[in-house]
Each structure stands twice: as C-alpha cells, then as structure tokens.
Amino acid sequence: MDDLLREFLTETNESLDVVDVELVKFEQDPNNEKILGNIFRLVHTIKGTCGFLGLPRLEAIAHAAETLMGKFRDGVPVTEAAVTLVLQSIDRIKQLVADLEASETEPAGSDEDLISQLERMAEAGKPPEPVVETPKHTEGALIYQVLERQLRPGEVSLDELERAFRETVVEPDRAAEPAPAAAAAEPAPAPAARPARAAQPKAEAKDGDGETKAGGVSAQTIRVAVDTLEHLMTMVSELVLTRNQLLEIVRRHEDSEFKVPLQRLSNVTAELQEGVMKTRMQPIGNAWQKLPRIVRDLSSELGKHIDLEMIGQETELDRQVLELIKDPLTHMVRNSADHGLEGPEQRKAAGKPDKGTIRLSAYHEGGHIIIEIADDGRGLDIDKIRNKIVDNGLATEFEVEKMSEAQIFKYVFAPGFSTAAKVTNVSGRGVGMDVVKTNIDAIGGTVDLKSVAGKGTTFTIKIPLTLAIVSTLIVESAGDRFAIPQLSVVELVRAQQNSEHRIERIRDTPVLRLRNKLLPLVHLSRLLDITSIGAEATQPVSEEDGFIVVMQVGQQTFGVVVDAVFHTEEIVVKPMSTMLRHINMFSGNTILGDGSVIMIVDPNGIAQAIGPSQSAGTSEEADHEEERTRDTAQMVSLLLFRAGSDEPKAVPLSLVTRLEEFSIDKVERSNGRDLVQYRGSLMPLVYFDEFAQRKTEGSLPMLVFSDAGRSMGLVVDEIIDIVEDRLEIEVGSERAGMLGSAVIKGKATEVVDIGHFLPQAFEDWFRRKEISSEALTRSLLFIDDAPFFRNMLGPVLKAAGYQVTVCASAPEALDMLEHGRRFDVIVSDIEMPEMNGFEFAEAVKRHPRLRQIPILALSSMCTPASIERGRQSGFDDYIAKFDRPGLIAALKEVTTHEFGVAA
C-alpha cells in the first residue's frame, strides 16, 4: 500500500473515533464552540486529504457533513436528528475507509442519499442566510462543486470555518491555508499530486500541535508497528528467563566474579522489561472510545434516557489485554442499556430519575485491573433466571432451590442463556454473556456480578495487567512443582493435625473449616492423578497435613491441598504443545529460574473439575450436621493465652472460631466501643480486662468467636499455646467471666467463661435467637455435675433456642421430673457421682410418663462400648462433649422428630 494512503487511513481512523465521541458530547452541550471547532477541524482535515488523494466519494460526504455543521456554527439549533445524520455520515465515511483499506481503491457507488439529506437539513435550518444553492455532489462534478462553492454565499461559512481553526489551533500560518486547500481540491486527481505535497506538511503540522488531546506530545511520538513491539516483548521475555537462569547459577557458587556484572545485567533487564511493558500499555479509554456513541444510538433506539459515566479512562493496561476485552465490554454495556435499565415510565414509577446511568469505571488493584460496569436499573430477576435454569435443563428444580443467589446469578454466563423476554436487536439472543465470560477467562480474568432488585446490577471484571508475565505461586505436590496464578489465590492456610486448621472429612471428602465456612478441599496430586516417584521425593505427607491454597474462581471458593509452598515467581507464560493442550488443568508452561520446566495450573480447570456443587457457601447448619462425626477424644484441645494477669488462661479451642491479630491503628471507635473491620463487616472488640492499661501501639492478638454470621473479638495479651489435656475444673470461681481453675499441662490455669463475654459484644447475642425461635421454644433439662459444663453449655443451649433448666445431679433431675416438671428434651452427662447417666436414663425410660421424652447423652467418653451402653440405657443419641454443633444438630433432630410424631 502506498505510504501516503496508509498514513491517511491511520489518521482518518483515529480522527473518526474522536469525531464520534465529540459529536455525542456536542449534542449534549451544543453551545460549546470548542467541541464544534474540534469536529470541524477533524472533518475538514479528512475532506482536505481526500481531495488530494483523489477520493471523491469521501470528499463529497465530508464536505456535505461539514456544511451542515457550519450551520450549527451559524447558530442553527442542534437537533438530535441533525446529529444523527452527521453520525450517519461519519459511519459512511468509516465504511468507505474500511473498504479503502481492504482494496486500496475507493469503492464505486453513490452517496447521493446521504448527501441530499445533509443538504436538506442544512438548508432547512438556516435562518440567517436562506439563499443557498443546492450543490450537486456527484463524483464527476467535483470541479463545479468547488467553483460553485467559491461563488455562493457558502464561502462565508468557509471563513467561519477558518476562524474556528484559528480559535482552536494556535498556528500563525493557518490563515494562509484556504487558498492551497481549495487549490488542492480543485484540479483532477493526477495534477493534484504536487499541490498535495505542499498541503501535506501543513496537515501534519496541524496534527502536531492538535491541542485537543495530545497536547504538544504527539510531535515527539512515532508510530511503531505492533509486530515490532510484540517481537521486542518476546525477546525481552527470553532475556528475563535467561537472566533468571544466570542468577540461579550464580546463587549456587559463592564469591563468583560474575556476581557484580550479573547484578548489573539484572537491573538493566528489569528496566528494559519495564520499558517494553510500558510501550505496550494503553489507557483503557481507548477501548471505551466507541461506547458513548453506542450508548447514544441505543438510547434513541430503545427510547430510554441513558447517561454513560466513565471513570478511570486513563488506567493503563496491556495492549493485548485491551484488545481482548474491548468486545466483551461493549457487549456488557449494551446489555446494561437493554436489559439493565428500565424505560423512563418504569423508572419514574419506581421513583428513580428517568435518566438511567451506566457507570463504567476502571482502576488498578494489586497487579490487576478492576473494571466495573454498573447500572442503576432493575437488577436481575432471580425468579426468571431460576425458571430459565430449569427450563434449559441446566439444573433441576430441587437443585435450584438449594442454590444461593450468587450461584443462580452465575448462570447468566451459561451458554445460550438470556432472560430477555423478547429478543431485541441489541441483546437477548443468548449469545453474549457466555462469550464475555469465555473471553475473560481466556485472559486469566474473572467476572463477577452483584445485583440488587430494583437498584441495579454491577459486573466486576478482574483481569491481569499483562498476559506476558504472570505472578505465580510455586507449589509442590507429589514431588513435582506447579505454578498457580496468584490472581486466583485468596490465601494460604497451613493445615496440621491438632491445629485450629485441620483437614477433616465428610465420608471421604476432605473439607476445611475456615471462618465458619466449610471449604471443599481437593488434593492437587489427586486432581492431577499423580503419585510421588523415586526416593528423592519428600516422604509421603500425612493425609491430614499440608498447605491449603485457598482459591477463588468466580463465586466458587475451594482449597487445593499441596505438599509444600515455595515462593512466588514472575513467570513468562509459554503456550503448551498441541499434544498437551487438551489437558484443561493447565493453562501453559514456563521455564523457572533454575532452568526446569514447570506446568502452570489453570484455576478455571480446577474449578470445573471440582464442580459447582462443591463450592463453599452452603448453609452453616448443614455443614455442622455433617461435621459431627468427629471429635471423640476424651482429651480436649485448649487454647492457652494470657490476658489481664500473668496466669495462663484457657478456653476450649472448639469454641474459638479463629485467631487473629490486628494492628492497633486498625481499631476504630464508634458508639463507645472499639471495632475493627473484619471480613467486610465491623467486629466489636471486647477487652478481657476492661480496666487494664491498653496498648497504644503494636498489634492486638484476639480470639474471634463467630456465631450465625456475627463475630466478636476477645482481645488478649498473648496467645501462648494450644494443648491437649483433660479439662477438670478443680476450683470453682466466683469471678465473672471465669469458670474456675484447672491444672493444664501441670500449671494452674483459669478457665474462661466465654458466655460471659459474648453478650458484651452484642447484647442480644443470646436473646436474638430466642426471639427468632420463640414459637418453637422447647424446654430442656440439662444435667451435669461439672460447673464448667453447666456454665458453658447452658448458654449455648439457650442460644440454640431452648429454655434451659440446669441440674447438678441425676437424682435431683429425677426428682424434678417426678414432681411434674415437663421437658421437651433431656441432655445428660454420663460420668456423675451418685447416679451416672446410664442409670438416670434407665430410670427415665422406666417411668411411663417420662418415657416419651427424648434423652441425649453428653460425654467426654465416646468409645463404641459406651455408645452401645448408652443406646441400651435408652439414650436417643450420644454426643461428645465439646461437639457443640453436633449437640445442636442432634437436639434439633430429636425435637423435630418428636414434634412430628406428636402432630
């Protein structure tokens, strides 16, 4: 292609994009002469260049459009129809330019339709100078056209045009331009070549100081072919890899004389990498450029008033990524306009301003870019989606019932899914959101959505800054190393037996309790079907130990168990061999610093393998019920800590949800109490000793207790240890908050009554639940000889919605029962003096009136023999002490069962 032509095409394409945006702005702000001036200048440049390149069709349209805009300048009111017409002309120009690019010649054809409309429009709204000859814009009549123009009053507007130039562009010799420009357009294409040369530098100079967007910078920029940059990038990537390898080698040899030069090389490489990356960076605004126009067209097409807000246009990201998200973004904005926003009447009825807003924002977060597309429309219709899921056979009705809102929304991204009742031109064809998701997945990004009925929908796209270099976590599984992209890694948890985090099992499915949620786990080795080979592989790690990489893909959270976690490394992703591409567990491979090849795990692949059914987020109740098969030891895990005084204090570990440490400056004071922001909500802090001097700097270790979605932090001085011991309170306590003292690990230790602290955080901690279950309140008799358990479990049972009567011995309880006290359920300890639990149960079951009352055994001795003995004695269930969830679940089961029978 001719260089001149190529340059023209590139420039014209850019100008047209700008004109699009400017015109939409202009329509909203018709009195802004500066915008109009800009548009003029750009259209005029196009027209002028077309003239000397011999492109009559383009020139004719540009000219007609320009004439119409001249009228705007003369004070003709700017109507929507007029702007639409101008936009149509711009579209025609674009189309012609595209054809030109493909075939290198201007396509044959006529634009008389558009031109005559433009002229009519120009004529119709021209109050000051009604005398306008209708110029004939046909290809063959170019010369006349120019001549005519010089004769007719339209020349005034040309002057005005020049004035517009002078006003917007400060350039002294601009005034001299009209003559050459006209001259350039005048002769037939062939002789035009020479004057064209003359006009060319001017056009470029004008571009050079185009104050509109580039300021004075563009004179210092050059165009570089993308291929050149791509190649440069590849070479730098290779250089980075080689550098890493060298560094690794030098690391192995102490006092190497290479060290210093290599250090230098390393720095230079890093800078070079950064520099090259920068050349690939482009503001995201480039991908948004077409959106104002699209939204404008949509709003007239759909009869909605739409405001498009764009925030963070200057946010930069890799060119390659930019290209890939352009279409998904456009689609999503169209979707928001079509589905998301309601029509003006509906909006008014809903009490919203009749103008809907679509807000597009972009910002950096870590190594990622977050793009949000938010509308203030009607929100997703969850019932509609539910029905659609069932109709499309994506899930059964039963499954849908059990899904959380977030899970249901996820189906919006399923192929062939559209809830639009009628298929419009704009969206609703069911090809769209799945494509969006696929595109975003492909670049290692994630897309999430939040929706509030009546308030609007927000899509959040998280994408890596660049595809070329990815930050990954290097892990080991079954003796092999793998790289996991950091983008999906939420946190790392060390799982050990006997620690707070240990891998538990429901049947054979491993799970982890993490902050009140059950996290489905999967062993990477099992997922990849690998076992250790050779002796050098680390000894087989115990089933229950390991590192858990908590990953999030979309709404799905899961833990991947690995044997070891090494470090994070920036890696250059290399595509996999075609022979390996079918393995969707991997997204690529790369060479590490030590020269070995490593496979890069694809989080999406893992998420798929795990399946949506396993993601965390099921109701807690169900989780607990499934958990209760463990915890049978007589020994109790106790958390030892210091608070207030020097003596160690203890609390059963099973009551503690989590240990946290917050820096003091994170503590906020509000409404007379201390709070910290914890997992997206405010968590009240309770100080162990209210009057003790508080630390003013450093960090606060705390025990977090959670229940039913609420958390409280009990601030302590120091967390000492987690021990396993028998818990036998030997000396009772009168002090509030203390159950008594016990010997733990050979030391006198105060056992803390958590029940005392919970209400300090939330006064209604217990009351709240009583209210919620008022209708179902059952009376419960709880027998235990140990004050610790009476004090600890009493509140727990109360919290679970029971009216609790506590009793210290079996005879006392029996006495109570025989004297007519009625209870819906009895919970009894086993090991008691005087009369033990078995004897008590037998006594109850012998009694005709009491026989029906369900009775549960609660014991720290959970051997099969004792369970069997308990069953024979008439216990309905046998639960380990400290298995609080288990107890609650069992209670629920027997009481509802009992009710069912009674009903």
Which residues contribute to the site for other proteins (CB under 8 A)? Answer: 238, 241-242, 480-481, 528-530, 533, 574, 577-580, 582-583, 585-586, 589-591, 595-599
Cβ 731 to other proteins shortest distance, Å: 58
Cβ 445 to other proteins shortest distance, Å: 24
User: 314 or 529, CB closer to other proteins?
Assistant: 529
> DSSP state, 683?
E
User: Taking Cα atoms as reference points, which of 657, 659, 685 lies closest to residue 671?
Assistant: 685
User: 42 or 573, CB closer to other proteins?
Assistant: 573
User: 178 or 605, CB closer to other proteins?
Assistant: 605
Query: Which residues 6+ apart lie within 8 Å of 374 measured at CB?
Result: 336, 358, 359, 360, 361, 456, 457, 458, 459
User: 577 or 696, CB closer to other proteins?
Assistant: 577
Both tokens assigned to 614: 């396993």
Strand partners, 878: 857
How far is C-alpha 4 from the geometric centre of its chain's CA atoms?
46
Q: Do the beta carbons of residue 748 and residue 728 sit within 8 Å?
A: no
User: 236 or 298, CB closer to other proteins?
Assistant: 236
User: 90 or 599, CB closer to other proteins?
Assistant: 599
Query: Which residues 6+ apart lie within 8 Å of 556 measured at CB?
Result: 607, 610, 612, 615
Encode 820-855: b = buried (16+ Cβ within 10 Å), e = exposed.
eeebbbbbbbbebeebbbbbbbebbbeeeebeebbb
Give alpha helix (H) positions in 142-289: 142-151, 154-168, 178-185, 189-208, 226-252, 259-280, 285-288
Cβ 469 to other proteins shortest distance, Å: 16
Element (H, E) at 61: helix 56-73
User: Hey, how many other C-beta atoms are within 10 angstroms of the C-beta on 251?
Assistant: 12
Q: Do the beta carbons of residue 762 and residue 684 sit within 8 Å?
A: yes
Cβ 236 to other proteins shortest distance, Å: 13
Strand partners, 875: none
User: Taking Cα atoms as reference points, which of 685, 662, 661 lies closest to residue 674?
Assistant: 685
User: 34 or 574, CB closer to other proteins?
Assistant: 574
Cβ 554 to other proteins shortest distance, Å: 23
User: 455 or 481, CB closer to other proteins?
Assistant: 481
Instruction: Give the separation between CA 496 and CA 484, rounded to whole angstroms.
Output: 22
Cβ 481 to other proteins shortest distance, Å: 8
Cβ 589 to other proteins shortest distance, Å: 6
User: 580 or 622, CB closer to other proteins?
Assistant: 580
User: 382 or 591, CB closer to other proteins?
Assistant: 591
Rg (CA), the chain: 37
User: 516 or 525, CB closer to other proteins?
Assistant: 525
Cβ 261 to other proteins shortest distance, Å: 20
User: 586 or 762, CB closer to other proteins?
Assistant: 586
Cβ 440 to other proteins shortest distance, Å: 25
Cβ 572 to other proteins shortest distance, Å: 11
> DSSP state, 264?
H
Cβ 580 to other proteins shortest distance, Å: 6
Question: Which burial class, exposed, middle or buried, applies to 772 when counting CB atoms under 10 A from its CB (0-12, 13-18, 19+)?
Answer: exposed
Both tokens assigned to 656: 């503690």
Cβ 571 to other proteins shortest distance, Å: 12
- Helices 837-846, 810-818: crossing angle, 10 deg rounding: 10
